[in-house]
Amino acid sequence: MKKIILTFLFSTSCLFFASAQFDNRFYFPSKQWNNIEGLNYKEFNFEIDTISINTMLIKPEIEVKATVIYYHGSSGNITTYINHIRPLINAGYQILMIDFRGYGKSTGVPTHKNIAVDAQYIFEKIIVLDEIKNNPVIIYGASMGTQIATKIAKDNQTKISALVLDGTISSFTDMALTSVPDEQKTMVEQYVTSPYSAKNDIKEIKLPKLFIQGSEDKTVPFEQFETVYENALTPKELWIYRGEHLESAKLYPEVLVQKVDKLLNLSSQKNP
């Protein structure tokens, strides 16, 4: 019995430690900067304490319809996702892309909490820029970026027009549960918690929402997207395309533009 108790206490203490360090299992930053060809862009750096956060504003060649603030997924950096937003740029959307701490040219180490603090700080700074302040703003989250995108949308509803979630994750905790044995799931649910989650934050967002999901997505369990969609208030639209995780822009660029155009038109009707 003593051995069982000691084993349990050791396992529990390890889990507490793992919980504190668990964020690094979600973020896989890269410093490799890919070439950006054929795009008009400029970079902004924001200093937060001793950390520098790099952002990129990409402008279309035609008149700007709206600004899309894009939160990327768990791996790579801004340049990894350029082709994911290229159809929108060609269609007249200017894109503000943000690299989390440790990604690309940003410094520091990413955690759930500092990403949230940084995102809100940067949002407040960029929303007043001359290039952005007179245009509608759409928040766009991709994969792991759907968590912070939903939080920023919830906390800033009067300043934005709509929300797009692509390859939605329901929560950090739910994602962690996909990689542990059944006998450990109860303990993970108890100790590995999410400081914010799309499945909860979405319940408070009254703005028009577009959900994009690949029917063959093997990266994120389909039921996670379903949970967030079912929790969402109307107006909301669902686009399930035939393809894998975050492949909508590659496989159906015209449809992606049509869906975002429709979302923008709906938001303008609600906020004339």
Q: What residues have CB less than 8 Å from 66, skipping those under 6 apart?
A: 93, 94, 135, 136, 137, 138, 161, 264
**Helical (H) or strand (E) element with 265:** helix 253-270
Q: Which of 79, 76, 68 is nearest to 36 (CA)?
A: 79
Does residue 158 register a pLDDT over 70? yes
- What residues pair up with 52 in beta bridges, in sequence order? 47
Average pLDDT, the chain: 90
pLDDT at residue 272 in the model: 55
Higher model confidence: residue 16 or residue 52?
52
pLDDT at residue 39 in the model: 96
What does the pLDDT average to over 40-47?
96
- Are the C-beta atoms of residues 208 and 238 closer than 8 Å to each other? no
Tens digit of pLDDT for each residue in 94-149?
Answer: 999 999 999 999 999 999 999 999 999 999 999 999 999 999 999 999 999 999 99
Q: Which of 245, 248, 229 is nearest to 237 (CA)?
A: 229
Q: How far apart are CA 192 and CA 176, in angstroms?
A: 8
Q: Which of 52, 57, 205, 191 is nearest to 131 (CA)?
A: 57
Angle, alpha carbons 52-70-117 (nearest 5°): 45
pLDDT at residue 3 in the model: 37
Judge if the upstream peptide bond of residue 272 is cis by omega within 30 degrees of 0. no
End-to-end Cα, the chain, rounded Å: 69
Q: How confident is the model at residue 21 (pLDDT cuts 50, 70, 90)?
A: low
Does residue 12 register a pLDDT over 60? no
Does residue 228 register a pLDDT over 90? yes
Instruction: Give the orientation angle of helix 2-21 with respect to helix 182-191, to 10 degrees.
Output: 60
Sole residue written with tokens 């590659």: 250
pTM exceeding the 0.75 threshold for the entire prediction: yes
User: How big, in percent rounded to 5, are the helix, strand and coil portions of the chain?
Assistant: 45, 20, 35
- Are the C-beta atoms of residues 25 and 74 closer than 8 Å to each other? no
